[in-house]
A and B are shown apart, each in its own frame.
Chain A
């Protein structure tokens, strides 16, 4: 039961899952720090990007395109309404904020379908799907969260639940309940010491590690990254760094959606993908994020990797039936610890 082969295999698979959960956790932490939105819809974007590639491979138009186009049309309408609410008469409306989303929508609808039919090489299909999915980030932020700039964390949480429901349902409407598969980046695998590793798992680990590194560099060495970090501390600080709260929100939502979209590409060749598969992945990322107190990206990522590994080991050594129970129980000691550390009287109004 304790042979190195078993332990190594469990560890590798745990790290593979953990890397995906870590990308979820990082997305959650980045978004929460900047906007105090707890995005329970994080996992839905995993599903959307993966299923979009499946559509492209079948030379079909991915449903994400329609979501993006309709979203952009609403973006234009929202902009017009916002200007009217500020008291602009219909003639005084600035035309650009109304037109550019429509232009972009038109561009997408004319460019993507021919590309979809063109049987492009796999990497290009991945690229298109990831770009389209990431585009949903600012769209969702504009349409769902931005209209309530001063809402409480709880209201944001409920909005995110609404987003989760809508996206899951749209996933079902576009792709149906059946599972889809994507080809691995390279077929087969290798023997690593006593254990077998598939090449896809290695790809996954490498790319997710690179992404996390890139994220680290972005936040520490670029103007935008520093501005976002300032935004996480307070809104005024962000404005001093030259980024408005709205910009910071859209940017951070895009980053977190991008992480999910890439995660979808990486994980689907290993796990296959179904319309309601993203939610649970997102939730496990949450456990990691909570371990990091929702604000510390490094601890959150490590926590998420720990979740992935703990899941594998508890399924093997404790009980496969109760492994999810064990994973979600992990947050109890974390919360208990935080609660005990907590000295000051809590103010929960934001």
Chain B
């Protein structure tokens, strides 16, 4: 514990001292560069949250800077509002606009946000340039064009000095970095990271995905607007170029250079960009024999090169040289997380699938399918490839909306609920295509599964005020890993494990949600013989603990050994239902299997 704090504390100390000392020795030009780097860093940190973690891209961050800058400038000049309040107003307006954009695009595929923000950036620049009576148009807004606005001041002391202002900007950079780092370590932060790997997975352990995407987008907009407002009060003169698409693209380049998934890279990237730009500006004209902004050629190629060869950006290459930070140990004495109360009535109907159909265009993937899962049983759902099993899983968990029919869980209708709401009711699942976050430890992956059992909100996360909840979740995750036999490897990266073990981690993560029903999607795929035996033991143990299991599996031996009842589907309809023994002898089943694939039945 102490070790952990001192390492991290030391890095902070070094960084803060650096920020305090360096400006003392800089000339006004380099102070300006440092300020600009700070301002860009603020925006890029938002981009990293958005693109690096949540897997969304924005090509309109500069437009949010523009909104922050212009709102602050206009309010403090035309309406003589206090500069600090104007700044806050600018941030709020940017957040409001981001909310509206998010509302119409976040439900669509991720790149639609990029395209929508691109269009929005062009719209806001168009307005800033042409609404001359309010924004001053292309000529700009500031004292030189008769729109004087006051500088920021602290206790009546105006911050006009370049050095002081540099400190102010970097104070905000450190603050935002601190908050963002905290956030990304918190419950919400882990969930944001999960978005990038797969929002279905995130939703399956109770994350309200659209809300979380929105939250990240709003944060990114707020950071950008903060930077914009700080820029306005620094220059006391702004023009529409600040909101321009080229500025947005530059910000994206900075984020990629620093490593799109790294918050510290969000400071490194702008630094590198600014210095590279002034370097290229000096030497490229000499090379080409004419002056001009030829650095865009270089930046274009750099962008492509980094994505080809160093996707994590340039900073992580350096970081590999440093010793890894020690891991915080698990507090096994932490109070357990609250558990669901299982009102055990063995044999009652837990899940009812009633006459369910799903159409994809003209294709009927599931056709009037009905079956029931009784509490405490292990039910197998089998069928040839393309029979509609995975579609059925997606219908139960709310990932797909059913075309006809009803699904109810514990006698209440769930087929209209969102995936995270269904997860919260006590249905957990694993995935046929593994859905772990490769660069996170097993423990953190499993902690994610407990999202629905924990409560800390985004503010608590940012301020590091999650209290003991996080410790409790870690202890619980460790217990779940122990349950599947992987406690020893808790701190290893998920992608360092063999496929079979990763499947077990997924089960541990599902168990972490404390489910009543667990849906296992081909858990034995890719497992070796002794691993399968372990899996069988594990599933039997779960049943003994009162958990109901719905199993999709191709390995007939495993299905026949484990399941008490089996439902066979083919072409989306139910072919047969019954005990393993009855299924084995059912001629229709035999025909379907031998007809489509020569599986050993």
Interface of A with B (CB < 8 Å)? Answer: 38, 144, 147-148, 151-155, 157-159, 161-170, 172-173, 176-177, 283, 286-287, 290, 321-322, 324-325, 328-329, 331-332, 335-336, 338-339, 342-349
Q: Is the CB of A286 within 8 A of B115?
A: yes
Cross-interface CB contact of A322 among B115, B130, B304, cutoff 8 Å:
B130
Least Cβ–Cβ distance between B448 and chain A, in angstroms: 16
Whether, in the assembled complex, B51 has its beta carbon less than 8 Å from a beta carbon of chain A, the answer is yes
Q: Is the CB of A161 within 8 A of B249?
A: yes
Least Cβ–Cβ distance between A63 and chain B, in angstroms: 12
Least Cβ–Cβ distance between A207 and chain B, in angstroms: 29
Known: A38-B115, A166-B301. A173 touches B292 (CB 8 A): yes
Q: Which residue of A lies closest to B57 (CB)?
A: A154
Whether, in the assembled complex, B290 has its beta carbon less than 8 Å from a beta carbon of chain A, the answer is yes
Chain B residues contacting A349 (CB-CB under 8 Å) are 55, 196-199
Chain A residues contacting B199 (CB-CB under 8 Å) are 345-349
Least Cβ–Cβ distance between B116 and chain A, in angstroms: 6
Q: Is the CB of A332 within 8 A of B296?
A: no
Q: Mark B84-114, 1 if CB is under 8 A from A, else 0.
A: 0000000000000000000011011111101
A-B contact count (CB 8 A): 156
24 A-B contacts, Cβ less than 8 Å apart?
Answer: A153-B109, A154-B111, A158-B307, A163-B304, A165-B249, A165-B296, A165-B299, A166-B297, A166-B300, A166-B304, A172-B296, A173-B292, A287-B119, A322-B126, A328-B123, A332-B104, A332-B119, A342-B108, A344-B400, A345-B199, A345-B401, A345-B418, A349-B197, A349-B198
Q: Is the CB of A165 within 8 A of B114?
A: no
Chain B residues contacting A328 (CB-CB under 8 Å) are 119-120, 122-123, 126
Least Cβ–Cβ distance between B567 and chain A, in angstroms: 24
Known: A331-B115, A335-B108, A345-B419. A159 touches B297 (CB 8 A): no
Least Cβ–Cβ distance between A127 and chain B, in angstroms: 28
Q: Is the CB of A162 within 8 A of B301?
A: yes
Known: A162-B307, A164-B300. A344 touches B115 (CB 8 A): no
Add 9 more A-B contacts to A162-B307, A342-B108 (CB < 8 A).
A154-B111, A157-B114, A159-B303, A165-B300, A168-B300, A322-B126, A335-B104, A335-B105, A345-B401
Q: Is the CB of B111 within 8 A of A345?
A: no
Least Cβ–Cβ distance between B411 and chain A, in angstroms: 24
Q: Is the CB of B400 within 8 A of A345?
A: yes
Instruction: Name the prevailing secondary structure of the B interface residues.
Output: helix
- Bound-complex Cα distance A54 to B562 (A): 75
Chain A residues contacting B301 (CB-CB under 8 Å) are 162, 166
- Bound-complex Cα distance A342 to B126 (A): 30
Known: A158-B252, A343-B401, A349-B55. A172 touches B292 (CB 8 A): yes
Q: Is the CB of A148 within 8 A of B307?
A: yes
Cross-interface CB contact of B303 among A158, A168, A347, A348, cutoff 8 Å:
A158
Chain A residues contacting B111 (CB-CB under 8 Å) are 38, 153-154, 157
Q: Is the CB of B300 within 8 A of A324?
A: no
Chain B residues contacting A153 (CB-CB under 8 Å) are 109-111
Chain A residues contacting B398 (CB-CB under 8 Å) are 345
Q: Is the CB of B200 within 8 A of A347?
A: yes
Q: Is the CB of A338 within 8 A of B122?
A: no
Q: Is the CB of B55 within 8 A of A158?
A: no
Least Cβ–Cβ distance between A139 and chain B, in angstroms: 13
Cross-interface CB contact of A159 among B114, B116, B304, cutoff 8 Å:
B304
- Bound-complex Cα distance A160 to B244 (A): 18
Known: A157-B114, A167-B300, A336-B104. A173 touches B130 (CB 8 A): no
Q: Is the CB of B296 within 8 A of A161?
A: no
Chain B residues contacting A348 (CB-CB under 8 Å) are 55-56, 109-110, 199
Q: Is the CB of B292 within 8 A of A339?
A: no
Least Cβ–Cβ distance between A197 and chain B, in angstroms: 30
Least Cβ–Cβ distance between A80 and chain B, in angstroms: 16
Whether, in the assembled complex, B203 has its beta carbon less than 8 Å from a beta carbon of chain A, the answer is yes
Known: A153-B110, A154-B111, A324-B126. A162 touches B116 (CB 8 A): no
Known: A158-B57, A159-B304, A162-B303. A325 touches B109 (CB 8 A): no
Least Cβ–Cβ distance between A328 and chain B, in angstroms: 4
- Bound-complex Cα distance A207 to B2 (A): 74
Chain A residues contacting B520 (CB-CB under 8 Å) are none
Chain A residues contacting B304 (CB-CB under 8 Å) are 144, 159, 162-163, 166
Chain A residues contacting B57 (CB-CB under 8 Å) are 154, 157-158
- Bound-complex Cα distance A152 to B195 (A): 14
Cross-interface CB contact of A331 among B55, B119, B197, B288, cutoff 8 Å:
B119
Cross-interface CB contact of A169 among B118, B119, B294, cutoff 8 Å:
B294
- B390-423 residues with Cβ-Cβ distance < 8 A to A are 398-401, 418-419
Q: Is the CB of B108 within 8 A of A346?
A: yes
Chain A residues contacting B303 (CB-CB under 8 Å) are 158-159, 161-162, 165
Q: Mark B336-350, 1 if CB is under 8 A from A, else 0.
A: 000000000000000
Whether, in the assembled complex, B582 has its beta carbon less than 8 Å from a beta carbon of chain A, the answer is no
Whether, in the assembled complex, B236 has its beta carbon less than 8 Å from a beta carbon of chain A, the answer is no
Q: Which residue of B lies closest to A290 (CB)?
A: B115
Whether, in the assembled complex, B127 has its beta carbon less than 8 Å from a beta carbon of chain A, the answer is yes
Whether, in the assembled complex, B69 has its beta carbon less than 8 Å from a beta carbon of chain A, the answer is no
Counting from the closest, the 3 A-B pairs by CB-CB distance are: A166-B300, A169-B297, A165-B300
Chain A residues contacting B203 (CB-CB under 8 Å) are 345
Q: Is the CB of B300 within 8 A of A173?
A: no
Q: Mark B43-71, 1 if CB is under 8 A from A, else 0.
A: 00000000100011100000000000000
Known: A322-B126, A345-B399. A154 touches B299 (CB 8 A): no
